[in-house]
Amino acid sequence: MIGTGLLITLPVVPLFMVIVGKGAGALHRKHFLALARLGGMFTDRLNALPMLANYNANKKQTDLLVAASDELNKRTMNVVGVAFLSNSVLDFFATLSVALVAVFIGFSLLGELNIGPSIELKDGLWILLTVPLLLSEMKKLGAIYHQKAKAEAAQENLAPLLSSTDMPFNPDSTQPFSGFEAKAFRAGDVLHADKLVISPHDHILISGASGSGKTLLLEALSAKRESSHCLKGKVVWLTQQPVVLPSSVRQNLCLDDVYDDEKLLQVLFQVELTSWFEALPDGLDTQLSYCPELSGGEAQRLSLARALLREADIWLLDEPTAHLSDSQHHRLSRLIHSVTQDKTVLWASHKALPANWFTHFWNVKHQQVNVQ
Amino acid sequence: MTHRNRTEKPAILTLLLAILHGAAGLSILVISSWFIAISAIAPLGFNYVIPAVVIRALALLRIASGYASMWVGHNDLLYRISGVRLLVFSQLTNAHSGSHAYSTEALAHHTEEVASMWIAWIAPLSSVLILFVSVCVGASTFGLPGAPILWVGFVGWLFIMSWQGVRSLKGAGHYAASTTHFREQTTAFFNTSAIWHLKKTDSITSGQSPRYQLKNVPSAKQVWRDNLTQQASAHSAAWLFQGVAYCLLIGGLLATPSVFYTPLAIVVPMVLLASPDWASSAFHAVTRVSQWQHSRNALNALSTVPYDNLNNVGFNQQLQCEHLKPLEWRSASVSAVVQRQGITLLQGASGSGKSSLLQAIVGLIPSTGRRIVDGVPLPHGLIEGWRYVEQSPTVLSATIKQNLDPAGLGVTEQKMDECLRALGLDSLLPLETWVGKAGRHLSGGESKRLELARAILSSPSLLCVDEPFEGLDAESQQRVCTLLKRVSATTPIVVASHVVPATFSFNELISLDSISLNPTFQRIYDGHKRFTVTETGQ
């Protein structure tokens, strides 16, 4: 009798939970924009603190935060007030079934009720203890269901990122670059070209207004972005933001690889950092930091040395001199040109570079790569 | 302050409801089992209606108090979170950017942990404690058979609790350390995305062709592991307690079977049997104590260096910077003059310190040297009416209108409209458009111009603009030039830029190039004999 009762009630529990969950979900969607905007305000204003101090806006923004969090709390309570019902539904069944089972068993023992087989004391107590256990397991199921929903939402947000972290070719391969030819080249929907040809030892200048897609083209060619064709061979990048790690000069050059000191000194000499290096207190083991102890030009030379160590065939240069003054731009460009003479080079720049350095000229305009 | 009061008021109601919830649950069990037991014996004239009604009433009470304690507890939690966050915010406002050695993500986590104190551990711990004590005292008072067994169980529970408390304290330390480590690692990892391609890779064979993935990618595995260890230790404590409870029960029944032949004798065994259900939530709660303690320490450790705020200073003739040197600079100081009218251009390669010099002039970062306005030296500090327009713009997650007037100065909508149009930002109108998080996304150039508009609309008495032309197309650069020219008629302006559009007209020039590159410094520009780069006196 109790068994059949439980068999009927147990499926009802998830059903109620789904109904309540749907209700809470609808409420959440209704408040979604407000919740997202108000909820992010604390971290947003924390990130903006220096600006707020400069504008003397702390008082006003604190008032805004107080108002926003009150509003957020009110709306959140609206949503969770319904969501809690799902928990209460379980509580309702758990508690009521204990009460009803107790009364039922008691009455059966008293002989007031005569349904089903007769129950003895020890059976009655056993049932009394197991019924709440059964329902507390259901409660755990509810928590897991909630976690599943959270995980699905996170997966939805991360999916586009996760699918693009790995590269389709081996960036460590030592196979020499043997040339590249692409007919009807496309990079997603944003860039296309009729025909692109790159032979080994080509030097290609890519020009175009800022924001026209030069970086995008380089990314597509090196398979960092979805595209119809990509370069196969060992590639190094030099971008406008040189990276200096807060560790030793040696680690900055080697990263997770090993090179002997002689080789390191040789590349430092090649990028004209020898005099800078000789002034360092601990030589290759001098610690560098994020702080601008290196000038922009020096940091860029250090990245150039790092790239030289890799002995790559293909060099992708994405405006490596963009933030430098004119004189630094000229000195660094000459240096890059001289160390990359026997490589294949694609150099994107909107600054002036001597035309005789290059064998081919590409122009990016209106989502189209034009070969001149 | 209203929010301060909110957090300090103890959440007694949360606690009371939690106790009521627990007590009602336990009472149902006790009365039901007694009712069943007495029904089995069925003495003559036994009134079974009253117990049956009481059981049903208790059931309703339990359900209601369960819902109410959840509702009240969460309401209280939300208000506590906002209270703690406002407190942290007000502590960090007006503090130097140099002291921002924390991540906002960590702060969000710590404030939440600190605010959840009542709902996470005070309420569950004290309700279990109070229930356990009252059950023991009640059993002794009414002389229930087996009351001593309950007392022994209580002592056992206390022992296991303190053991679990010590273990979780250690676990919480590991957990906090691994979380911090993971946060630092991921930040560093993403900051160095430009050199990922130089790193070693692993090959993964999935599907038909092998794919390659970066090695040494920061992993959250340790964080997960530490979290699971914490949970597992709470579970094991709960299991241990359950074992102790069952052993006591069996031991008691075997030792003195004769006392258990009355209906009331059913109470103690039932309470012990059900103890995992009502007493073991405390083991999870005690884990939260350690986490709460960690977060509280982290928040207390927030040290801030407040700005010295100075009243607005306007100037009639000129601002003289005498040997001004931001503290982070290593070698040289700058002496320069900014005139009341016109635009002063500050030039230098990136990394030469243009930004920090501008911030030092305004007073946003600490510096040595002096700022002299019309012959009167200023004390160190942030001057109210002087604006620094950042190189990487800050856009608030708010409406355009709030973004343009963050301090609530009451800038008229007409002025905002005009300024946006002058900068070619018509597309951002109307002013009620929400930008930033969960709103319209602004491109780099749009944010740059929005920030400039914000600075101009705040009617500054000195305007320092960092790289206004970066990321702008030729037409927008032209608009910015024109607007700056117009504003410079009434406001002194210093512009730091490595891009100088052909149409940009400036009256003075300061060049920083020779500071950071040459070990010995020289006078670099003598045209107006107004500024020189000098060696610091060493």
Q: Could you read off the pLDDT of A309-367 as tens digits, one per residue?
A: 888 888 888 888 876 777 778 888 888 898 888 889 999 887 778 888 999 899 888 77
pLDDT score at B162? 93
**B270 or B525: which carries more pLDDT confidence?**
B270
Share of chain B above pLDDT 70, in %: 86
The pLDDT tens digits for B467-523 are: 888 777 778 888 889 999 888 888 889 998 877 888 888 888 887 765 543 332 222
Q: Is B214's CB within 8 Å of A53's CB?
A: no
A46 with B37: Cβ contact below 8 A: no
When pLDDT is cut at 50, 70 and 90, the band that residue A273 belongs to is confident
Task: Specify the pLDDT at position B43.
Answer: 66
The pLDDT of B287-301, averaged and rounded, is 86
Residues in A 201-260 with any Cβ partner in B closer than 8 A: 209-211, 222, 235-237, 239, 241-243, 245-246, 255-257
B270 inside 8 A of chain A by CB: yes
Q: Report the run of H or E that residue B240 belongs to, with start and end.
A: helix B221-255
Residues B513-523 have pLDDT tens digits of 655 433 322 22
Each residue of B380-389: pLDDT tens digit? 888 888 899 9
The model's confidence at residue B243, banded by pLDDT at 50, 70 and 90, is very high
pLDDT of residue B98: 46
Q: Does domain B7-190+218-302 have CATH number 1.20.1560.10?
A: yes
- Chain B nearest-CA distance from A36, in A, is 6
Mean per-residue pLDDT, B239-260: 83
| Residue, of B205 and B515, whose pLDDT is higher | B205
Q: Which of residues 60-79 of A touch B (CB under 8 A)?
A: 60-62, 64-66, 69-70, 72-73, 76-77
Answer yes or no: is pLDDT of B524 > 80: no
Which pLDDT value is given to residue A117?
Answer: 65
Instruction: Lowest mean pLDDT of A80-84, B204-208, B231-235, B514-518, name the range.
Output: B514-518
Residues in a beta bridge with A207: A363
Three-class SS of chain A: CHHHHHHHHHHHHHHHHHHHHHHHHHHHHHHHHHHHHHHCHHHHHHHCHHHHHHCCCHHHHHHHHHHHHHHHHHHHHHHHHHHHHHHHHHHHHHHHHHHHHHHHHHHHHHCCCCCCCCCCHHHHHHHHHHHHHHHHHHHHHHHHHHHHHHHHHHHHHHHHHHCCCCECCCCCCCCCCCCEEEEEEEECCCEEEEEEEECCCCEEEEECCCCCCHHHHHHHHCCCCCCCCCCCCCEEEECCCCCCCCCEHHHHHHCCCCCCHHHHHHHHHHCCCHHHHHCCCCHHHCECCCCCCCCHHHHHHHHHHHHHHCCCCEEEEECCCCCCCHHHHHHHHHHHHHHCCCCEEEEECCCCCCHHHCCEEEEEECCEEEEC
Q: Is the pLDDT of residue B158 over 90?
A: yes
Question: What's residue A322's pLDDT?
Answer: 73
* Predicted confidence band of residue A293 (pLDDT cuts 50, 70, 90): low
CATH superfamily of the domain spanning B309-511: P-loop containing nucleotide triphosphate hydrolases (3.40.50.300)
What is the pLDDT confidence band of residue A115, given thresholds at 50, 70 and 90?
A: low
Task: Read off the pLDDT band of B212 (50, 70, 90).
Answer: low
CB contact under 8 A, A76 and B78: yes
**What's the confidence (pLDDT) of residue B527?**
30
Q: What type of residue sits at position B466?
A: D
Asked if residue B143 has pLDDT above 50, the reply is yes
In terms of average pLDDT, the best of A111-125, B36-50, B291-305 is: B291-305
Backbone angles phi, psi at B203, to 5 degrees: -100, 140
Portion 175-194 of A in contact with B at CB < 8 A: none
Please tell me the predicted confidence (pLDDT) of residue B155. 94
Asked if B382 reaches chain A (Cβ–Cβ under 8 Å), the answer is yes
What is the model's pLDDT at position A289?
64
Domains in chain A (CATH in brackets) are 2-162 (1.20.1560.10), 180-371 (3.40.50.300)
Q: What is the percent of chain B where pLDDT is above 90?
A: 11
User: Has residue B528 got a pLDDT over 50?
Assistant: no
Q: Which residues pair with B382 in a beta bridge?
A: B309
Phi, psi angles (nearest 5°) of residue A234: -85, 125
Residue type at A255 in one-letter notation:
L
B533's enclosing H/E stretch is: strand B532-535
Pairing of strands A180-187, A191-198: antiparallel
pLDDT band at A162 (very low <50, low <70, confident <90, very high): low
| Average pLDDT for chain B | 80
Q: CA of A169: how far to CAs of A179, A223, B195, in Å?
A: 15, 9, 17
**pLDDT class for A170, splitting at 50, 70, 90?**
low
Output A91 or B111, whichever has higher pLDDT.
B111
Matching residue, tokens 């970086």: A215
- pLDDT the model gives residue B42: 67
The length of chain A is: 372
Q: Which residues of A302-333 are buried (b: 16+ CB within 10 A; e: fewer)?
A: bbbbbbbbbebbbbbbbbbbbbbbeebbbbbb
Q: Where are the domains of chain B?
A: 7-190+218-302, 309-511
pLDDT at position B269: 83
Report the distance separating Cα B182 and Cα B266, nearest Å.
53
Name chain A contacts of B199, Cβ cutoff 8 Å. Answer: 255-256
Please indicate whether, in this complex, the C-beta atoms of B277 and A136 are within 8 angstroms of each other.
yes
Please list the residues that pair with B211 across neighbouring strands. Answer: B204
pLDDT at B272 over 60: yes
Of B71, B398, B513, the CB nearest to A81: B71
- The answer to whether residue B282 scores a pLDDT higher than 70 is yes
Contact B315, B477 (CB under 8 A): no
Kindly state the tokens that stand for B159.
């022992």
